[in-house]
Chains A and B, each alone.
Chain A
Amino acid sequence: GENVEQHPSTLSVQEGDSAVIKCTYSDSASNYFPWYKQELGKRPQLIIDIRSNVGEKKDQRIAVTLNKTAKHFSLHITETQPEDSAVYFCAALASGGSYIPTFGRGTSLIVHP
């Protein structure tokens, strides 16, 4: 089955800095890669996703890149703000099946004012 590794487990940055979270996956059939943000005590919510036919996708301060050859994808947050503090989860899945995403273990991002 699919295996998703996520690093780092904790990331501490100063407000205004950039943050990068990296994930690797094992199954070459995976073709959809969502990122979820979970604020403390809240539910996970999708913030951005990328499909395997695209190398990069941006949405304001957030971007995701995908390297299919190396089987890794990354989340980039620029100009971090305290409200970006949360746990971020990456996931990978093959869209042709019953849609069972495999999640990474999460990265706790702390943005210091």
Chain B
Amino acid sequence: NAGVTQTPKFQVLKTGQSMTLQCAQDMNHNSMYWYRQDPGMGLRLIYYSASEGTTDKGEVPNGYNVSRLNKREFSLRLESAAPSQTSVYFCASREGGVPYEQYFGPGTRLTVT
């Protein structure tokens, strides 16, 4: 049982390049989330998927797109990376209903130059 996994762990992009961050969970959770973490800013929600087949914007969705590929996988795409997207990205999942605990992946550290 690997929990929530993310790839890659580190990535450096040039401004304007695109990339997709991958997230998968093996806990049969219904809901999945993408957060970004910047120093002093806490965890800010980018997009979430309450259940397979649905996605919704969070607090900071501009410049990102997501795909809930199936129940296990939720990907985050940067179409044209900008230096402001330099951050650590965390994927999370939860079962739905009770309990409310979110399980986080190990994170992806992205640098855009």
CA distance in complex: A32, B62 (Å)? 28
CB contacts under 8 Å to B, within A13-59, are: 32, 34, 42-46, 49
Q: How far apart sit A46 and B43, CA to CA, in the bound complex (Å)? A: 14
Q: Which of B40, B94, B102 contacts A105 (CB 8 A)?
A: B40
User: Judging by beta carbons under 8 Å apart, are B48 and A98 in contact?
Assistant: yes
Contact A103 B42 (CB under 8 A): yes
Determine if B100 and A104 form an interchain contact, defined as CB atoms under 8 angstroms apart: no
Is A100 touching B48 in the complex (CB atoms < 8 A)?
yes
Closest chain B residue to A41 by CB distance? B107
Residues of A within 8 Å of B101, CB to CB, are 34, 46, 49
Residues of A within 8 A of B78 (CB): none
Chain B contacts of A100 at CB under 8 A?
45, 48, 58
User: Assuming the A-B contacts A98-B48, A100-B48, A101-B102, are A89 and B107 also in contact, with contact meaning beta carbons closer than 8 angstroms in the complex?
Assistant: no
B interface, size bucket: 20 to 34
Q: How far is the CA of A44 from the CA of B36 in the complex (A)?
A: 12
Binding site secondary structure of chain B:
loop
A-B contact count (CB 8 A): 47
> Using a CB-CB cutoff of 8 Å, which residues 65-113 of chain A contact chain B?
89, 93, 95, 98-101, 103-106
B81-113: contact bitstring with A at CB < 8 Å (1 yes, 0 no)?
000000000100010101011101111000000
A interface majority secondary structure: loop
B50's contact among A43, A98, A101, A103, by CB below 8 Å, is which?
A98
Complex alpha-carbon distance, A95 and B94, angstroms: 13
A interface residue numbers (CB < 8 A to B): 6, 9, 32, 34, 42-46, 49, 89, 93, 95, 98-101, 103-106
Q: Give the 9 A-B CB pairs with smallest separation, nearest first.
A: A43-B104, A105-B42, A103-B42, A103-B43, A98-B50, A46-B101, A44-B104, A106-B42, A43-B106
- Other contacts beyond A99-B50, A99-B96: 14, CB < 8 A: A9-B40, A34-B101, A45-B104, A95-B100, A98-B31, A98-B50, A100-B48, A103-B42, A103-B43, A103-B44, A105-B40, A105-B42, A106-B40, A106-B42
